[in-house]
């Protein structure tokens, strides 16, 4: 029985909640139990956004992730705030194009990926979040193109179906990095 | 998985209400329940329903009174300070024996408080809030699935007993997304409402909806009849979940998000050999007596885990004749106890044995 607790964090506008939602839907597509909980409090007004996602073979207990197995930090304040919370042996995905410092912890696995830079280079400047998701799925050994696509189909609204391919492309860029 | 979609708790309430046949929603925005109103604003016009953003919470609850008088399924939703404003209306609804459905997605108080999750409106919901002798059926969901199913249940119970039923959720339940299968929601048909003011068509006597009875004999009679009905609700409608209670020596009591957190702590404690279980009231009024009748025979300590300064713990004591040890494990003001904090309390009550 496996439970994976994820914490996505970054600036408002980076697509933190969206990335969490795709990840949750991917779990649902794979018949897992999932939960998704956004921050909606005063910290949101300060410009940062975060969300807790849990993917589990068992029923999900508390939906609040305070000690993630994996932290996806898309800006420096997020890494500063949550680095110490990650479980021993856990994973940190850091957007190295926006976070200049290195992770100080030595008991976690760190994957630096210049997600924002890659997004700009590939002419998909709004999709650094999905590039980070691709890297995260690689780090957790959870990549599955089929279920990622199914999840994207659930989250990307029919009106914006042209965005499906670019989202998938972004995930692939992150996976292949 | 086919039918399951991810939905926010607030959206699940709104969609379930529509499935239950509610076509009239009146509200006024307040965090963290605004998604209920937003969903209704989008959906109601498409299905011939009414969405109305009232000028205030007080106006909204009185619009509910109006539609309920006409015998239709109707609702309003708000969060703590807004429910205080609606409380006069809740008392009037009770006094006029009208069925209504109200949602409170609680935030920290008192006063304007904060916008983070809380359970500190327990007293307000279960013991009154408005004036006079009255009760509401209070439902406490602990998942998005239950946000939906208890909404349907809420409309059904309101009609059945001519009472207000209230969903008492919190910011977490409202904001979180979980898989929910709305296609399998079962809804029973609304009962006939011969008392409703639907126009006499000159074929029957006027129906009068009113809560003013100046003759004390009449007012007393109405109160006593109402409480006979409440007694039937208490006997028949209490709902709860028991978790690992069979051999438990310590019992955690929690509802809503506090129950979710407590389950994590209980699972960890069990893995360390501590005999601890959970009673999760699903109806807060009527407060479920049956699991406590059983539990009081073998439970030494009850730990009430709440997002309040200790409100439900009073009902736990009453339900167990004040004969055990009672401990409060709480955070307030928008804070949520962590599984570690609950576990620490369980270990402490187990004599410190880890």
Instruction: Tell me whether strands B50-53 and B250-253 are parallel, antiparallel or unpaired.
Output: unpaired
A33 token code pair: 């139990």
What are the φ and ψ backbone dihedral angles of A102, each rounded to 5 degrees?
Answer: -95, 160
pLDDT of residue B236: 98
What would the mean pLDDT of A29-34 be, rounded to a whole number?
96
Residue A159 — pLDDT band, cuts 50, 70, 90? Answer: confident
Q: How far is CA B79 from the centre of its chain?
A: 12
What would the mean pLDDT of B201-224 be, rounded to a whole number?
96
pLDDT of residue A43: 62
What would the mean pLDDT of B333-348 be, rounded to a whole number?
96
**Interface check A40 vs B, CB under 8 A:** yes
pLDDT of residue A12: 87
pLDDT of residue B352: 86
pLDDT of residue A160: 86
Residues B115 and B174: beta-carbon distance below 8 Å: no
pLDDT of residue B354: 72
What would the mean pLDDT of A30-52 be, rounded to a whole number?
84
Residue of A70, A114, A81, A80 whose CA lies nearest to A96: A114
pLDDT of residue B128: 85
pLDDT of residue B306: 98
List helix spans (H) across chain B. 9-19, 34-43, 57-69, 80-95, 122-126, 144-161, 171-175, 216-236, 256-271, 290-295, 312-319, 339-349
pLDDT of residue B148: 98
The pLDDT tens digits for B84-97 are 999 999 999 999 99
**Interface check A12 vs B, CB under 8 A:** no
The pLDDT tens digits for A53-70 are 999 999 999 999 999 999
Does the pLDDT at position B100 exceed 70?
Answer: yes
The pLDDT tens digits for B147-193 are 999 999 999 999 999 999 999 999 999 999 999 999 989 999 999 99
Cβ separation of B179 and A28 shorter than 8 Å?
A: yes
Q: How far is B250 from chain A (nearest CA, A)?
A: 19
Q: Where are the domains of chain B?
A: 5-195+208-236, 241-349
Select the residue of A21, A28, A66 nearest B1 (Cβ to Cβ): A28
ipTM associated with this complex: 0.94
A62 token code pair: 């508390």
pLDDT of residue A42: 64
Select the residue of A24, A29, A64 nearest B177 (Cβ to Cβ): A24
Q: Which of A41, A66, A150, A154 to mutate to test the interface with B (most CBs of B within 10 A)?
A: A41
SS3 B209: coil
Cβ separation of B177 and A36 shorter than 8 Å?
A: yes
Cβ separation of A41 and B116 shorter than 8 Å?
A: yes
Residue A44 — pLDDT band, cuts 50, 70, 90? Answer: low
**Interface check A41 vs B, CB under 8 A:** yes
Name the packing angle between helices A163-176 and A128-139 (round to 10°).
Answer: 50
Q: Where are the domains of chain A?
A: 3-176
B12/A45: higher pLDDT: B12
- Other C-beta atoms within 10 Å of A131: how many? 30
Given the candidates 3.40.50.300, 3.40.1410.10, 3.40.1190.20, 3.40.50.920, the CATH classification of the domain at B241-349 is 3.40.50.920
Instruction: Tell me whether strands A48-56 and A70-73 are parallel, antiparallel or unpaired.
Output: unpaired
Q: Which CATH class is domain B5-195+208-236?
A: alpha beta
A to B CB pairs, distance under 8 Å = 65
Does the pLDDT at position B79 exceed 90?
Answer: yes
Peptide bond connecting B286 to the previous residue in cis, omega within 30 degrees of 0: yes
Q: Which residues contact B237 (CB under 8 A, 6 or more apart)?
A: B137, B157, B283, B286
B80 token code pair: 């703590």
- The yes or no reply on domain A3-176 and CATH 3.50.50.60 is no
Cβ separation of A41 and B178 shorter than 8 Å?
A: no
List the single residue in A with minimal CA-CA distance to B179. A34
Q: Which residues of chain B does A28 touch, with a Cβ-Cβ cutoff of 8 Å?
A: 1, 4, 6, 179
pLDDT of residue B192: 96
Percent pLDDT > 90 in chain A is 88
């Amino acid at each position: 029985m496996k439970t994976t607790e994820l914490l996505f964090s970054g600036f408002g506008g980076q697509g933190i909640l969206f990335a969490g939602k795709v990840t949750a839907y991917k779990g649902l597509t794979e018949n897992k139990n999932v939960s998704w909980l956004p921050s909606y409090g005063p910290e949101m007004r300060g410009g940062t956004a975060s969300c807790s996602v849990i993917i589990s073979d068992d029923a999900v207990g508390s939906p609040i992730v305070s000690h993630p197995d994996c932290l996806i930090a898309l800006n420096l304040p997020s890494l500063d705030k949550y680095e110490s919370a990650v479980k021993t042996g856990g994973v940190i995905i850091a957007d190295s194009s926006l976070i200049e410092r290195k992770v100080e912890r030595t008991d976690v696995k760190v994957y630096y990926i210049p997600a924002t830079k890659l997004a700009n280079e590939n002419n998909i400047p709004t999709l650094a979040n999905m590039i980070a998701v691709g890297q995260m799925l690689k780090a957790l050994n959870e990549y599955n193109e089929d279920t990622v696509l199914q999840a994207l189909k659930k989250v990307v609204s029919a009106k914006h179906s042209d965005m499906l391919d670019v989202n998938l492309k972004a995930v692939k860029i992150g996976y292949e990095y | 998985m086919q039918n399951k979609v991810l939905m926010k708790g607030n959206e699940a309430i709104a969609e379930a209400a529509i499935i239950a046949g509610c076509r009239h929603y009146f509200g006024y925005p307040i965090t963290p329940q605004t998604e209920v109103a937003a969903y209704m604003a989008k959906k109601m016009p498409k299905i011939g329903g009414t969405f109305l953003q009232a000028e205030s919470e007080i106006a909204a609850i009185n619009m509910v009174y109006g539609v309920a008088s006409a015998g239709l399924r109707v609702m309003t939703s708000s969060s703590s300070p807004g429910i205080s404003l609606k409380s006069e209306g809740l008392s009037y609804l009770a006094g006029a024996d009208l069925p209504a459905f109200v949602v409170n997605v609680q935030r920290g108080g008192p006063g304007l408080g904060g916008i983070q999750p809380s359970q500190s409106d327990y007293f307000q919901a279960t013991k009154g809030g408005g004036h006079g002798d009255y009760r509401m059926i209070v439902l406490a969901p602990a998942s998005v699935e239950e946000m939906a199913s208890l909404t349907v249940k809420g409309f059904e119970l309101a009609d059945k007993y001519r009472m207000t039923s209230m969903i008492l959720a919190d910011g977490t339940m409202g904001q979180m997304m979980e898989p929910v299968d709305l296609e399998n929601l079962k809804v029973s048909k609304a009962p006939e409402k011969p008392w409703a003011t639907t126009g006499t068509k000159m074929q029957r006597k006027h129906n009068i909806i009113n809560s003013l009875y100046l003759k004390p004999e009449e007012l007393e009679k109405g109160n006593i009849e109402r409480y006979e009905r409440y007694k039937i609700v208490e006997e028949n409608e209490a709902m709860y979940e028991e978790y690992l209670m069979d051999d438990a020596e310590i019992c955690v009591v929690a509802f809503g998000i506090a129950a979710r957190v407590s389950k994590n702590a209980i699972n960890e404690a069990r893995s360390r050999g501590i005999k601890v279980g959970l009673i999760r009231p699903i109806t807060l009024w009527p407060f479920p007596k049956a699991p406590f009748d059983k539990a009081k025979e073998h439970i030494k300590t009850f730990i009430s885990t709440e997002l309040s300064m200790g409100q439900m713990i009073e009902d736990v004591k009453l339900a167990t004749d004040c004969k055990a040890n009672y401990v409060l494990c709480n955070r307030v003001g928008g804070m949520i106890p962590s599984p570690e904090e609950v576990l620490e309390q369980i270990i402490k009550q187990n004599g410190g044995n880890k």
